[in-house]
Structure 1
Amino acid sequence: MSAKLFVIAALVAVASAAPSPDSPPSYGPPPPSYKEPGMPYDFAYAVKDDYSGNDFAHNENSDGQVTSGSYRVLLPDGRTQIVTFTADHHNGYVAEVAYEGEASYPPPAKPSYGPPPPAYA
């Protein structure tokens, strides 16, 4: 009896899930999407915190078609990396990367081979 009830419930679920004849088909190309025109904007920010060592900035502007700007960041080796870029739908993202300063690294630490030998008096 429960098997018949299960089969009937499954058939009802399948029938109710079927699309109605007046609904649009779910296959075919997606509906057309319309590209919105670009919006002009302009922004900039900069952070220089001597306590934490953070030093970075970013500025960017767009006329709705071409976006251009630059950003810079202080690298751990002491150099500043500066990226100047432009981006549009025709050329894509085009960046020019430059570095200021000279890389400097701390001297290597002396190797430690375990605890020091005991000192006898």
Structure 2
Amino acid sequence: MKVIIVAAILAVCRGAAGGLLPVAAPYAYGRPLGYPAPLAVARPAYAPALAAPLVGHAVAKVAPVEDYDPNPQYSYAYDIQDAITGDSKNQQETRSGDVVQGSYSLVDPDGTRRTVEYTADPHNGFNAVVHKEPLGAPVVKAVAAPVAHALYH
């Protein structure tokens, strides 16, 4: 019985590939096993001539980037003051060329305002200075009262 099974497996393996099953390279781009090679696609008369003929795959030309800004600039800011949740934070930032300057601040849970002033440029990298100033009482968030559960017997 074992001989018959081995003979059947060998008979299946002997296909049109001359006795071996095709094996795909593990990391190579290619066609899936069992699919024939792609057919050459005829180029329509109105299509421009390409360096290589179309063979089953689309060829895309990459256009050069023409909207390069040698001196990019932007500026933005936001400020959030929410009396219900006690959330208080802001940020502002500007960029001129390769130099970015900005700051942000927020209220820490210990009741201090943390302000970070930063600059970034290709020569010095990113640099930040942190300031803390007391605001008064620590921030207290509302907590629901604990519920006492009665035990019933």
Give yes or no for TM over 0.5.
Answer: yes
Q: 10, 14, 26: which one pairs with 1:4? A: 14
Q: Which 4+ residue blocks in structure 1 deviate beyond 6 angstroms? A: none
Percent identity over paired residues: 30
- CA drift of 1:104 comes to 5.6
C-alpha change, 1:49 and 1:60, in structure 2 (3 Å) is: same
Q: Which has the higher helix share?
A: 1
Q: How many residues were matched structurally?
A: 90
TM-score (norm 2): 0.49
Q: Is the 8 A contact 1:81 1:97 kept in 2?
A: yes
> Gaps (5+ residues) in structure 1?
23-34, 107-121
Q: Is the 8 A contact 1:56 1:73 kept in 2?
A: yes
TM-score (norm 1): 0.61
Per-residue CA deviation, residues 11-57 of structure 1 (Å, 9 max, x unaligned), is: 6x56x94xxxx9xxxxxxxxxxxx97351000000100011010000
Matches within 5 A, 1:7-22: 8-10=20-22, 17=30
> Gaps (5+ residues) in structure 2?
1-10, 31-51, 53-67, 140-153
Q: Which has the higher strand share?
A: 1
Q: 48, 68, 71: which one pairs with 2:101? A: 68
What value does the CA root-mean-square deviation take over the aligned residues? Answer: 3.3
- Name which structure has the greater RCO, CA cutoff 8 Å, separation 6+: 1
CA distance in 2, matches of 1:56, 1:105: 16
